[in-house]
Amino acid sequence: MLSNTGNFLLSLNIFLSALIIYYSYNNLKTSDNLISKKVFKISILQSTSILICFFTLVSAFLVSDFSLITVYQNSHSLKPIFYKISGTWGNHEGSLLLWVIILTLFSFLFLIYNRKHPKNYRLYTLIIQNFLILGFLFFILLNSNPFSFISPPPSEGLGLNPILQDPALAIHPPLLYVGFVGSSIYFSAAIASMITNYSDKSFAKSIKSWVLISWSFQTLGILVGSIWAYYELGWGGFWFWDPVENASLLPWFAMTALLHSLLVLERRNVLYFWSIILCLLTFVLSVMGTFLVRSGILNSVHTFANDPTRGIYILVFLSLMILVSVYILFSKYKPASIEINSNSKETFVLVNNWFMLFYLITVLLGTLYPIFTDAISNNKISVGPPFYNSVIIPVVVIFLFFMAIGPNAKWIKNKFIDLKIYSFIILAAIFFNFIIFFFFKSYSIISNLIVISSLFLILSSIMDLFKKINFNFPRVISHLSFGFLILFIGLNHNFSIEKDFNLKIGETKQIDNFKFHLKDLKLIQDTNYKAVVGSLKVNDLLTKEERVLKPEIRIYDNPQTLTYEASIQTNFIRDYYLTMSNIDRSDYYNIKFQKKPLMIWIWISVAMLSLGGFLSLFRHAKNN
C-alpha cells in the first residue's frame, strides 16, 4: 500500500514539475509584471506532495513495512524509534528523496521571498530549478526507488549499520544537504541571471541570503560529521581527508569564496562573471561529490552505498549540467573591466578567493588523482593526511595574515595599512607563542608559524570588536572563530598524548606520567546489542587527576557487527579518549589511550563560525 502511495506521489511530482516549467515558460511572455497565480499554486502543491511522499517513507520505516526493499535492507523491527526515523535518510534511496525535498523547498522559498526582483529572472530560476528536480526525480524513479517492493514481504529486516545508529549521524545528512543541495538555488539563479541579463548589484542581493543559509548549514553539517567520526570511529581523530569528507569540503570552499566575492558585487558592481562561475561551481561540486560517494569509485570509510549504474546516471546528469552552464556562460560572457586598487577591500576579497581556489584545487586534485593513476598506469596510490597537511598548512599561515588585515581595508582605496598596530599585534602573537612553547615544550617550526599567524588573526579580530566605525559583528565572529579553530587544531595536533598498551583484568601499568588500572569487565544487554564494558582507572601523576573510563566492545544483533565504543571524558582543558579491544586467544585487552588538549574548543570554534553565518543572514534579512 505504502509502496503504491509513494510511487504515485513521485509520479505526481514529476507531473507537477513539468507543469511548473510549462506555466512558467508561458508566463515569461506575458506583459504582466506579476507571476501568475497558477505557478504559485502548483509550487505549493509540489512542496506539499513531496513532503507527504517523504512522510510516507518515514511511516514505512516506523511501522517496519518490510515489503519495501529499502526498509527491509536498512531497518529492523527492534530498532529504537529514533533510528527508525533517521534510517529513512541513512541510505542511498531515502537520502535522494531528501535531496529532492530540499531542491523543491528551496525552489518554493526562492519564489516567494524574492518579490522585489524582476519577474523573468524569478521565472527562469524556477524553470531551471525544476529541471534539476526532474533530473533527480527520474533518477529516483528509474534507478533508486525507495518504494520498490519485494513480494512476499520478508518477516524481518536486515537492520541499520550500527555505526550509523547515532544521534549525530541522524542529523548530519539533513544539515549537510541543506548546505550543498541548497546551493542548487543559486546555480539556477546564476543561469537565470545570465539569460535575463539581470546582472547588477541586486542579483547579488537576491542570492546572498541563500548563500549564507547554505554556507552556515554546510559548516554545521561538516561539524556534526566530524564529531561523529571523533567518537564513533574510535581512533581519536576528527578529520582524515577521506574522499567523502573532501566531497563535503569542496563545495564549502567554493561557497566561502562566493560569499566574499558577493560582497564586492553588492558594493561595487564588479566581479559579476566571477561570482556566476562560483555559483555554478558550488553546485557542480556538490553533485560531483555525490557522484564520487555513491558510485563507489573511491575507496572510503563511508561508502555505504555504491553501485556503478547509479554512478553512470549521476555522471550523465553532471555532464549535462556542466555543458549547459558552460555553454550559457560562454555565450553570455562579456569581458568586464575589473578595476581595483592594490590596497582596497576588493583586492583582499580577491585574495580570499585566490586562497580558497588553491585549497579547492588541492583537495580536488588529491581526491581525484588516485583515479587517474589507476586508470593510466594501473598503479593505485593513496593520497592521505600527510599530503594535505604538507601542501596546505604552509599556505594557511599566509592566508591567516591576509584574513586579519583584509576586513579593515576600505572600499575603492585604502589610505595605508597601519603598520604600527600590526607590528604590535605580531609582537603580542609571538609573545603568546612563547608562553605556549614553554607550557608544552617542543614543536616544529611550521606549528610555530601556525600558532603565531592564528594568534595574529585572533588578536586583530578582538581589536576589531572594539571598533566603532565599520563594525560588522557577524564578520568579526566568523573570522575570530576561524582563528581560534586553526589555533586549537594546531595545539591539539601537536600536544596530543597517545599510549598504546595491553592490559588484563586487575593489572596496573604505569607509562610515563600515567597509571592505568583495569578494574573489571561487565556484560550488559541493551535493546539491540550486547556489550562488554570495561572499567579503567586512569591516573595522571602530574595533575593528580583520577578518572574512571568505561570503553565498550559492542556486539550488535541486526546486522551482526562488532564495534568498539570509545569512552570519552571531556572538559574545557582536555579530552581523555580511550578504546579497548580484545586480542584473539589471550586474556589481554589492547588499550589505546589519548589525552587531547582543548578538543571541545575545536567544536565550539566551528559552531561559532557557523553562527557568524547565521548572524550575517539575519543582518542581511533585516536590511533588505
Residues that bind another protein (CB under 8 A): 234-237, 240, 242, 299-301, 303, 338-342, 347, 350-351, 354, 357-358, 361-362, 365-366, 369, 373, 377, 379-387, 390-391, 395, 420, 423, 426-427, 430, 433-434, 437, 442-445, 448, 452, 498, 564, 579, 581, 584, 590, 592
Is the CB of 203 or the CB of 589 nearer to another protein? 589
In the complex, what is the shortest distance from the CB of residue 267 to another protein, in angstroms, rounded to a whole number?
17
Report in angstroms the alpha-carbon separations of 245 from 33, 80, 218, 428.
45, 28, 12, 35
In the complex, what is the shortest distance from the CB of residue 83 to another protein, in angstroms, rounded to a whole number?
22
Q: Are 46 and 20 in contact (CB under 8 A)?
A: yes
Is the CB of 187 or the CB of 228 nearer to another protein? 228
In the complex, what is the shortest distance from the CB of residue 369 to another protein, in angstroms, rounded to a whole number?
5
Please list, in sequence order, all residues whose beta carbon lies within 8 angstroms of the beta carbon of residue 151, skipping any fewer than 6 positions away.
Answer: 67
In the complex, what is the shortest distance from the CB of residue 75 to another protein, in angstroms, rounded to a whole number?
23
Q: Are 516 and 601 in contact (CB under 8 A)?
A: no
- Which grid coordinates belong to 27? 508566463
In the complex, what is the shortest distance from the CB of residue 43 to another protein, in angstroms, rounded to a whole number?
41
Kindly report the backbone phi and psi dihedral angles of residue 360, in degrees, each rounded to the nearest multiple of 5, phi listed first: -60, -50
Closest CA to 129 of 181, 204, 51: 181
Is the CB of 356 or the CB of 480 nearer to another protein? 356
Is the CB of 77 or the CB of 513 nearer to another protein? 513
Report in angstroms the alpha-carbon separations of 55 from 97, 157, 270, 357.
11, 20, 45, 40
Is the CB of 301 or the CB of 312 nearer to another protein? 301
Is the CB of 327 or the CB of 434 nearer to another protein? 434
Residue with cell 561538516: 222
Rounded CA gap, 136 and 181, in Å? 12
Neighbours of 135 (CB within 10 A): 21
In the complex, what is the shortest distance from the CB of residue 28 to another protein, in angstroms, rounded to a whole number?
37
Number of H helices, E strands in the chain: 18, 10
Please list, in sequence order, all residues whose beta carbon lies within 8 angstroms of the beta carbon of residue 43, skipping any fewer than 6 positions away.
Answer: 20, 107, 108, 111, 126
In the complex, what is the shortest distance from the CB of residue 370 to another protein, in angstroms, rounded to a whole number?
9
Is the CB of 583 or the CB of 621 nearer to another protein? 583
Is the CB of 442 or the CB of 623 nearer to another protein? 442
In the complex, what is the shortest distance from the CB of residue 578 to another protein, in angstroms, rounded to a whole number?
13
Please list, in sequence order, all residues whose beta carbon lies within 8 angstroms of the beta carbon of residue 503, skipping any fewer than 6 positions away.
Answer: 509, 516, 518, 536, 588, 589, 591
Three-state secondary structure call for residue 167? helix
Is the CB of 172 or the CB of 205 nearer to another protein? 172
Please list, in sequence order, all residues whose beta carbon lies within 8 angstroms of the beta carbon of residue 455, skipping any fewer than 6 positions away.
Answer: 428, 429, 432, 433, 483, 487
In the complex, what is the shortest distance from the CB of residue 405 to another protein, in angstroms, rounded to a whole number?
15
Is the CB of 138 or the CB of 235 nearer to another protein? 235
In the complex, what is the shortest distance from the CB of residue 570 to another protein, in angstroms, rounded to a whole number?
20
Is the CB of 389 or the CB of 571 nearer to another protein? 389
Residue with cell 563594525: 471
Question: Where do the H-state alpha helices sit in 441-507?
Answer: 445-465, 473-495
Kindly report the backbone phi and psi dihedral angles of residue 225, in degrees, each rounded to the nearest multiple of 5, phi listed first: -60, -40
Determine the length of the chain: 624
Is the CB of 426 or the CB of 480 nearer to another protein? 426
Closest CA to 298 of 248, 251, 252, 242: 242
Three-state secondary structure call for residue 296? coil
Question: Measured over all CA atoms, what is the biggest interatomic distance in the chain, rounded to whole angstroms?
Answer: 85
Is the CB of 288 or the CB of 617 nearer to another protein? 288
Residue 448: alpha-carbon gap to chain centroid = 29
Kindly report the backbone phi and psi dihedral angles of residue 297, in degrees, each rounded to the nearest multiple of 5, phi listed first: -75, -20
In the complex, what is the shortest distance from the CB of residue 345 to another protein, in angstroms, rounded to a whole number?
13
Residue 365: alpha-carbon gap to chain centroid = 19
In the complex, what is the shortest distance from the CB of residue 452 to another protein, in angstroms, rounded to a whole number?
8
In the complex, what is the shortest distance from the CB of residue 430 to another protein, in angstroms, rounded to a whole number?
6
Query: What is the DSSP track for 511-535?
Result: ETTEEEEEEEEEEEE-SSEEEEEEE
Residue 426: alpha-carbon gap to chain centroid = 33
Q: H or E element: which one contains 369?
A: helix 345-377
Is the CB of 155 or the CB of 442 nearer to another protein? 442
In the complex, what is the shortest distance from the CB of residue 74 to another protein, in angstroms, rounded to a whole number?
19
In the complex, what is the shortest distance from the CB of residue 449 to another protein, in angstroms, rounded to a whole number?
9
Three-class HEC string of 215-277 = HHHHHHHHHHHHHHHHHHCCCCCCCCCCHHHHHHHHHHHHHHHHHHHHHHHHHHCCCHHHHHH
Is the CB of 411 or the CB of 437 nearer to another protein? 437
